[in-house]
């Protein structure tokens, strides 16, 4: 077993067999290719997704190298030529990458990352890019649904123990913070990424002491400025809340401390929170907060609040960190174009019996169009790379799936979404801080219409093709379909 794990060989084996094949057919070894990453459907049938994971992609690309142990392993497989193995000894990424910043809302079928690189390099990084962007975009998308359901109340990520492995816990906590969580229970995520870690106590703390009151009193004495007491170990209303009130009154109030909380982790959260609120208020603890957890998601949180639950914040675990309702993001990595020896871009298209799996050809850009009167985004436009959207002139947009639906827009602003990340193998992008990503995410979601943000039957946000790109696609469909 390798003493020092690295992710260089975290790739599908066929990336290497294809690379070996390209290497031995010299015309293809240095063939410049363009690959797009995009997705086809928003998880949970939502109106939009959120891009996340770019910082880990950047780190991976910068660190790529094969050590002698990797080379020896590949030689043992018996299917790689020595020339290719020697090539891998000196392997590094030399291409270009463009991507949308983390926290940006994204929509089906539009590229949110594009790679331009020699074929071997472009193919080799596919697996890691997809697994990273798929995972974090999935968790960020689910998180934001939950955060929006909480309607301004803080949501903390509590899911580490239910995540599919350490990386899923740590990077899931990172993605959840970008998308709006107030913090996480994952300590390592805080140390590594700065996602604020916090927590209260387990039921075992309460059970460890001779009685519930002693457990609560001891905790308040130890942590007077962050006392959140778990009140459902025995009986919430008969013992839990009364003992919490007593501990607060005897330990915290004499010190002038009124910032405290109780946590409900089972039972009818609406009923219990309303009863607990009355008990706390009657005891003069009007500033005491009520935290709720227990297999929550956006639908349960929404219903609790509609029913009048007196809950101030939420802890959400398994249904967030695993995106339990739809645990696959579905991003794909598809060839869109190649370059000939003269540098001309030759578009490529994938045709499928399933129309939803056909790709958009060519080297492309994505514009987001904003209404100047409202400031809201009303459509995205995919164009070929050499097209420039002139937002000083009227623009006609059409639905790519129903081309007779056409509208002309004026008084709008067009902004490019994809920004350069690597050029010629050199990083040219400075990743913002996680706090800046979080702020950006909130700002960009605020630019979407509320209709797009509905949980059920959201408004279909249009992702349109430029006329030039549409014509190119139709010509390739006609030619390749013969």
For residues 108 and 51, membership in a common domain is answered with yes
CA distance 183 to 145: 16
- What confidence tier does 336 reach under pLDDT thresholds 50, 70, 90? very high
Flag whether pLDDT at 117 surpasses 90.
Answer: yes
- Based on the domain organization, do 345 and 463 belong to the same domain? yes
Query: What pLDDT does 106 receive?
Result: 98
Q: Look at the chain and report how many structural domains it folds into.
A: 2
What per-residue confidence (pLDDT) applies to 1?
43
- Give exposure, 11-48, as e/b (b: 16+ Cβ within 10 Å): beeebbebbbbbbeeeebbebbbbbbbbbeebbbebbb
Residue 190 lies in a domain: no
| pLDDT at residue 411 tops 60 | yes
Shortest CA distance to 35 belongs to which of 395, 274, 359, 414? Answer: 359
**Residue with more model confidence, 181 or 25:** 181
In which order are the strands placed within the sheet that holds 412-416?
Answer: 412-416, 364-371, 377-384, 462-465
Q: What is the mean pLDDT of residues 254-274?
A: 97
123 has a pLDDT exceeding 90: yes
Q: pLDDT band for position 352 (50/70/90)?
A: confident
Q: What is the pLDDT of residue 479?
A: 84
In a domain, 164, yes or no: no
Please answer whether residues 333 and 134 qualify as being in contact, where contact means their C-beta atoms are separated by less than 8 angstroms.
Answer: no
Q: Do 297 and 336 lie in a common domain?
A: no
Q: Are residues 111 and 232 in the same domain?
A: no
116 and 23 co-located in one domain: yes
Pair 45, 133 in one domain: yes
For residues 341 and 378, the model is more confident at 378
Q: What is the CATH number of the domain that holds 221?
A: 3.20.20.70
Please say which residue of 307, 342, 374 terminates a domain.
Answer: 307
First-residue to last-residue Cα distance in the chain: 51
Residues 466 and 336 in one domain: yes
CATH number at residue 110: 3.20.140.10
**Does residue 292 fall inside a structural domain?**
yes
* Averaged pLDDT, 445-461: 97
- Out of 307, 339, 371, pick the residue that ends a domain: 307
Whether 2 maps to a domain, the answer reads no
What's residue 349's pLDDT?
95
Q: Looking at the structure, do residues 275 and 348 belong to the same domain, yes or no?
A: no
Considering the domain architecture, whether residues 257 and 292 belong to the same structural domain is answered as yes
Domain that holds residue 289: 200-307
Same domain? For 460 and 344 the reply is yes
475 near 349, Cβ under 8 Å?
Answer: no
Average pLDDT over residues 458-463: 95
pLDDT of residue 2: 47
- Asked if residue 6 has pLDDT above 80, the reply is no
What is the reported pLDDT for 215? Answer: 98
Query: Within a domain: residue 394?
Result: no
Does residue 324 lie in a domain region? no
Q: What is the mean pLDDT of the chain?
A: 95
Answer yes or no: is 275 within a domain: yes
pLDDT tens-digit map of 286-313: 999 999 999 999 999 999 999 999 999 9
**Same domain membership, residue 80 and residue 218:** no
Whether residue 230 lies inside any domain: the answer is yes
Domain match, 104 and 210 both: no
- Predicted confidence at residue 4, as pLDDT, reads 52
Last residue of a domain, one of 307, 341, 373: 307
384 touches 362 (CB < 8 A)? yes
């Amino acid at each position: 077993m390798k003493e020092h794990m690295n992710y260089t060989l975290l790739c599908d084996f066929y990336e290497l067999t294809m690379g070996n094949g390209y290497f031995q057919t010299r015309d293809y070894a240095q063939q410049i290719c363009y690959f797009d990453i995009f997705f086809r459907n928003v998880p949970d049938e939502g109106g939009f997704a959120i891009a996340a994971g770019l910082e880990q992609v950047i780190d991976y690309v910068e660190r790529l190298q094969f050590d002698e142990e990797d080379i020896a392993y590949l030689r043992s497989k018996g299917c790689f030529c020595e020339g290719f193995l020697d090539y891998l000894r000196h392997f590094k990424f030399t291409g270009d990458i463009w991507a949308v910043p983390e926290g940006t809302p994204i929509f089906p079928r539009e590229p949110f990352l594009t790679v331009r690189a020699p074929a071997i390099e472009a193919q080799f990084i596919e697996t890691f890019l997809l697994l990273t962007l798929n995972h974090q975009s999935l968790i960020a998308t689910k998180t934001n649904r939950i955060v929006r359901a909480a309607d301004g109340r803080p949501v903390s990520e509590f899911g580490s123990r239910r995540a599919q492995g350490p990386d899923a816990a740590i990077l899931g906590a990172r993605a959840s913070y970008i998308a709006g969580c107030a913090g996480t229970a994952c300590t390592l995520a805080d140390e590594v990424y700065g996602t604020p870690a916090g927590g209260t106590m387990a039921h075992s703390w309460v059970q460890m002491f001779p009685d519930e009151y002693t457990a609560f009193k001891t905790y308040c004495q130890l942590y007077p400025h962050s006392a959140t007491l778990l009140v459902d170990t025995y009986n919430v209303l008969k013992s839990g809340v009364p003992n919490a009130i007593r501990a607060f009154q005897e330990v915290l109030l004499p010190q002038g401390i009124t910032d405290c909380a109780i946590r409900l982790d089972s039972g009818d959260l609406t009923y219990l929170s309303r009863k607990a609120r009355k008990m706390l208020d009657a005891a003069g603890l009007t500033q005491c907060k009520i935290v709720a957890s227990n297999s929550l998601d956006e639908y349960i949180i929404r219903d609790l609040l509609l029913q009048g639950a007196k809950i101030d914040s939420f802890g959400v675990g398994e249904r967030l960190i695993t995106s339990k309702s739809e645990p696959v993001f579905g991003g794909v990595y598809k060839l869109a174009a190649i370059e000939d020896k003269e540098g001309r871009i030759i578009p490529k298209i994938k045709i499928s019996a399933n129309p939803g799996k056909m790709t958009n050809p060519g080297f492309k850009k994505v514009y987001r169009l904003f209404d100047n009167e409202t400031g809201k985004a009303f459509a995205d436009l995919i164009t070929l790379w050499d097209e420039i959207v002139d937002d000083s002139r009227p623009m006609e947009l059409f639905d790519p799936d129903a081309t007779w639906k056409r509208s002309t827009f004026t008084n709008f602003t067009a902004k490019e979404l994809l920004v350069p990340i690597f050029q010629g193998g050199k990083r040219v992008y400075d990743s913002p801080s996680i706090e800046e990503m979080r702020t950006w995410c909130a700002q960009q979601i605020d630019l979407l219409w509320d209709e797009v943000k509905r949980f059920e039957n959201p408004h279909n946000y249009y992702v349109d093709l430029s006329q030039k790109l549409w014509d190119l696609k139709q010509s390739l469909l006609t030619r390749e379909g013969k």
